[in-house]
Structure 1
Amino acid sequence: MRAGRMVSLLLLLQNRGKLSAARLAAELGVTARTVYRDIEALSAAGVPIYAETGPFGGYRLLEGYRTRLTGLTADEAESLFLTGLPEPAAELGLGAQVAAAELKLTAALPTPYRDASTRIRQRFHLDAPGWYSEAEPVPLLTAVAEALWRDRVIEIRYRRWSPEPGVVTRRLHPLGLVLKAGVWYLVAVRRNQPRIYKVSSIQRSRTLPEKAERPEGFELSAFWRAHVEGYEEAEETETALIRLSPQGIAALPDLLGPRAARLARRTLTGEDAEGWRRARIPMESVPHAAAGLLKLGVDAQALEPAALVAHLTATVRAMAGLYPGG
């Protein structure tokens, strides 16, 4: 453990130049006292580290010194594909490996490329979740990812919302994990067909000794792209029937998004004396659809399916109980 930390300390100085003990401690996740001890040990081993005193002081390597300790471990190499996604990497339990791999990769690059990679990291950042939303807790993501990586069958207890709400047990052959708008999805085979499961809805996961089978020629990105296109074009399956006021219709793009607005406007029917009309909106799940309709407030009313109406009724009653006179 200490040897790996000392290599990381050495690579930090090599890649970034002068760094204070406090900065090194923060990067390595240790105390400044530990940094002092590691620097003493490196100096005793012949590594030319010297200190600059003063308010802007710190530690640096002798000009021109470079270490060759840049070999990647297997775990670090496997995590390289996530170097631009630190938060998803941490959710997968690969945060430390990603940091170490990126550090070693940077140290191994020629100076012009190393400078370019630093400029890119300083100027571009990927933030997957949407506005005003946080990633859902996915406590079983690491276990699912491990089974996926090892090509093992898993058995899960899963809370589904359609065709009927309830908790079911499924035996799956994992094919891949997809992060979409801050939400993790598992693609897995059940009954010889690839299906999609929301990881946050998995209540329990057990890895089985049986080896998972992958369909010949299966490509995760192509499957997901086809799924998204089909999902966005669907009008009759997984939709909710609602009533909308004129204000609700106008607010659809901002509050429910452009896809829901397109489907609603294509399916608008009827108009009562007050201008209310019926329409259909896509329904990923009952909670998801309910959350969207609640944003519309009194300008929307759910009519179907019954599970959505019941969910909204219970939610509104609970909300009313929070206020005086409710």
Structure 2
Amino acid sequence: MRADRLVSLVLLLRQHGRMSAAALARELEVSTRTVLRDIEALSAAGVPVYAERGRHGGFALLPGFRTELTGLNHDEALALLVAGSRRGAQAFGLGSALASAMLKVVDALPDSYRDTAAGAAERLLIEPETDLLARRQPSDEVPDAVVATVLRAVFGGRRLRLRYAPPDREPSWRTVDPIGLVTVRGRGYLLATRSGEDRTYRLSRVLAVEELAEPAQRPDRVDLDRAWQERSTRFRHGDDQVGVVVRVHPERREELVGTALSVRSEETGEDGWLRLEVSFQDRRHAVWALWQLAAGAEALEPQWLRDLLHARATAIATRYQPRA
């Protein structure tokens, strides 16, 4: 770990020219004292790093110094391969590897390209954590130990034993054969088989995991994009789906459609409101989606959905009655 950090420190100085100990500590996510010890270690190893004192001082490398320590390690190369989405790298626990790899890539660029590339990169922001309404994009928090074990089993072709917590059910252990990992909107999923049947597990619901010595029973090659599409199709047409008839204000239509699995029919009423027949994953999904729309929509059918929404609205209204 320290060797990687020393390389990153040298590359940061090459890229930025001069940096204070505090700035290096923030970039490397260590203390200032650790940075000072690392600087001493680099000097002892013959790396020409020197200190400049004063208000705008800091540490820098002698002009013309170039390190040969720019080779990518396994995790860094993997991070670049999944870096089409930085959040994808984060979801699989590769965020720090991605940052380190990008430093090495920038350092390897010819001098004439480096400044141009850095300037262009500053003008692009992909998938920020918040949108224009300051809403945070949903993402799952998965313990590093869980991600590391799952990754190791996926790459090594070993079986996994998961303690998994499905929605509305007690957690239980199951043994699976891992196929691959998928990240969608900051959420990570493990595609696997269990007793020969396709299974998809959300990583944030994995409470504990063990890598087994047994080899996974799976094909040598896999088309993850096709596998994900097939599972998504089965999910949208599952046995638990419910159909709902909804009356919705035109301004809230996109919100409704965005939460539904499919739109079966749509027409405009005389009052200008839209009447849609949509499908949801299950009852809980339907209640949640209609509740988000508040007075901007009305569930017309089925009656059980109207009853559940009425009960919830009554409970809220009772709680917020004016105080005497």
TM-score (norm 1): 0.77
CA RMSD, aligned part only?
Answer: 3.9
Give the residue type in structure 2 aligned to 1:293: L
Cα distance, 1:319 vs structure 2: 3.9
- Alignment correspondent of 2:34: 34
Residue 246 of structure 2 contacts residue 278 of structure 2 at CA under 8 Å; is this kept in 1?
no
Change (3 A) 1:61 1:194: same
| Structure 2 unaligned spans of 5+ | none
Q: Distance in 1 between matches of 2:57 and 2:23?
A: 11
Say which SS state the counterpart of residue 36 (structure 1) adopts: helix
Query: What does 1:209-224 correspond to in 2, within 5 Å?
Result: 209-215=213-219, 217-224=221-228
Q: Distance in 2 between matches of 1:10 and 1:270?
A: 64
1:166 and 2:169 matched: yes
Q: Distance in 2 between matches of 1:275 and 1:65?
A: 69
Change (3 A) 1:249 1:214: farther
| Structure 1 unaligned spans of 5+ | none
Cα distance, 1:49 vs structure 2: 2.3
- Alignment correspondent of 1:49: 49
- Alignment correspondent of 2:5: 5
Q: Distance in 1 between matches of 2:272 and 2:121?
A: 54
Cα distance, 1:92 vs structure 2: 2.8
Cα distance, 1:26 vs structure 2: 1.0
Give the residue type in structure 1 aligned to 2:278: R
Q: Could you tell which deviates more after superposition, 185-194 or 267-276?
A: 267-276
Residue 250 of structure 2 contacts residue 274 of structure 2 at CA under 8 Å; is this kept in 1?
no
1:207 and 2:211 matched: yes
Percent sequence identity over aligned pairs: 35
Say which SS state the counterpart of residue 242 (structure 2) adopts: strand
- Alignment correspondent of 1:149: 155
Q: Distance in 2 between matches of 1:137 and 1:2?
A: 26
Matched pairs, number: 315
- Match 2:242 to one of 240, 243, 252: 240
Cα distance, 1:103 vs structure 2: 1.9
Residue 186 of structure 1 contacts residue 197 of structure 1 at CA under 8 Å; is this kept in 2?
yes
- Alignment correspondent of 1:180: 184
Q: Distance in 1 between matches of 2:57 and 2:276?
A: 69
Q: Distance in 2 between matches of 1:13 and 1:236?
A: 55
Say which SS state the counterpart of residue 194 (structure 1) adopts: strand
Change (3 A) 1:6 1:115: same
- Alignment correspondent of 1:290: 287
1:134 and 2:131 matched: no
- Alignment correspondent of 1:66: 66
Change (3 A) 1:315 1:32: same
Cα distance, 1:269 vs structure 2: 8.7
Residue 269 of structure 1 contacts residue 279 of structure 1 at CA under 8 Å; is this kept in 2?
no
TM-score (norm 2): 0.77
